[in-house]
Amino acid sequence: MRTEKTIIITGGAGFIGSHVVRHFVTRYPQYTIINLDKLTYAGNLANLRDIEEKENYKFIKGDIIDAAFIDRLFAEQKPDAVIHLAAESHVDRSISSPVEFVMTNVVGTVNLLNAAKACWKGVYDKCRFYHVSTDEVYGALTGDGMFTEETRYDPHSPYSASKASSDHFVRAYRDTFGMDIVISNCSNNYGSFHFPEKLIPLAINNIKNSKPVPVYGKGENIRDWLWVEDHVKAIDLIFHNAKAGTTYNVGGHNEWKNIDLIRLLCNIMDRKLSRVPGTSAQLITFVKDRAGHDLRYAINATKLQQELGWKPSLQFEEGLEKTVDWYLANEEWLDQVTSGAYQKYYSDQYSES
C-alpha cells in the first residue's frame, strides 16, 4: 500500500541517521521510511532494533557510490523525498584516507542527486532533497565571532572539503535544474549510539576501562556541542517547513574547550562508577595534535530559531550525564563496536602518541 510519502534516509544505520530514522518512523506512521545504508564500520543495525519491525520501516543495504544501483533503487521505490546523511564522517580517517571521503561524500551525493533528478522530472516542486551537512565547511574561528549562513566556505580537512564540495553540488542542482533542495549545517552532536572513534564516546569507553584518554595538543580547541535529538528536531522542522533552496545553521550555543569537557566528563564518570573524585582525570593524556586542527567552531542558529521556532532543549551537563548513563547501560553495544576492526584503527591512530 502506498503511504502519504516515501522518504529515503541515507546513512540511517549511523549515529545521527539512526536517531533520524527512529524519529520519522515513530512520529510519522503515515510515511514509509527507507533506510539506505552500506553498513560501513560506522553503520550498525543494532542502533535500530527497537523499530526494525515497524510496518512503515524498510532497510536496504547499498552503496551510494554505485550509480547504477542508486538509479534502480529510485526507479523502483519512487521516493518523494531524500534526507541524506550517509557519509564518511571522521576527520582523523579523512587525513589518512582522503579518497574514500571524495567517493562517498562527493560522488555518492552527486549519484543521489542524479537519481532524484531523473525520478522527480516534472514534479520537482513536490519532491525534496535534504542534505545534512556540517559547520566544518566554514573553517575555523579565531576571534569571538560565530558562523552564520552567510559565512564564506573555508574547509581545512579532507573531510570538511568533501562536505563543502557536496554542499556546492546540492546547491548547483537547484540553480541548474530547479530541484527543491534544503541544507543544514550543524555543530558537533553527542548522545547515544555515537561511534567511539569520536571524542565523547571514546573518552567514556576509555575512562570506563581505565585506559588513557587522548587529548590532542593542549586541549585548547573549542567545539559547540548539541544533543543529537535536538538536531533531529531541527531536521524535522527544516524538512517540513523550509522554503526550497534554504540553508539553516544548527548549533547548541554550547562551546566547550576540549580539556574542560573531558574534565567534566571525568567528574561525571567518577560519580557514576563510585570512584574517588579525581581518579578518572588522572587518565588524561596529552597526545600529538591533529594535523590542520581547527581551533574553534561556534554556530549562530538565530535564523532557525526565528524562522522555524527551534531551540535546543537540553543543558549540556544534563545531556552528558544522560549520555554516560546510556553507555554504562549498553555495555554489549559498546563491546560489539569496539571489537575487531576498531582495535586496529585505535592502535594505528594513537600509536605515535
Enumerate the active-site residues. Answer: 135-136, 159
Distance of CA 127 to CAs 146, 175, 266, Å?
32, 16, 46
CA 43, CA 53: separation in Å to the nearest integer?
18
Closer by beta carbon to ligand DAU, 81 or else 141 = 141
**Closest approach of Cβ 350 to ligand DAU, in Å?**
7
Q: How many residues bind ligand NAD (CB under 6 A)?
A: 30
Q: Which is nearer to ligand DAU, 51 or 232 (CB)?
A: 232
Which residues are CB-neighbours of 287 under 8 A, at least 6 positions away?
Answer: 214, 215, 216, 350, 353
Should residue 202 be labelled a site residue for ligand DAU when binding is judged by CB under 6 A? yes
195 binds ligand DAU (CB under 6 A): no
Element (H, E) at 26: helix 15-27
Q: Does 236 bind ligand NAD (CB under 6 A)?
A: no
290 binds ligand DAU (CB under 6 A): yes
Per-residue x/- track, 126-145, ligand NAD (CB under 6 A): ------x-x-----------
Residue 42 interacting with ligand NAD (CB under 6 A): yes
By CB under 6 A, is residue 195 in contact with ligand NAD?
Answer: yes
The CA distances from residue 120 to 3, 94, 184, 194, 315, in Å, are: 17, 33, 22, 34, 41
Q: How far is the CB of 123 from ligand NAD (least distance, A)?
A: 25
Among 109, 162, 258, 323, interactor with ligand DAU by CB under 6 A: 258
Cα separation, 167 vs 175, whole angstroms? 13
Query: Does residue 189 touch ligand NAD according to CB under 6 A?
Result: yes
Among 5, 39, 69, 314, binds ligand NAD (CB under 6 A): 39
Question: DSSP 3-state assignment of 152?
Answer: coil
Q: Which three three-digit cell numbers place residue 48?
A: 535500530
DSSP E strand stretches across the chain: 5-10, 31-37, 57-61, 81-84, 128-134, 181-186, 188-190, 213-216, 222-227, 247-250, 255-257, 284-287
Does position 199 interact with ligand DAU (CB under 6 A)? The reply is: yes
187 near ligand DAU, judged by CB under 6 A:
yes
Using CB under 6 A as the binding rule, whether residue 323 contacts ligand DAU is answered as: no
The count of C-alpha atoms lying within 13 angstroms of the C-alpha of 62, restricted to the half-sphere facing its C-beta, is 23
Q: How far is the CB of 302 from ligand NAD (least distance, A)?
A: 18
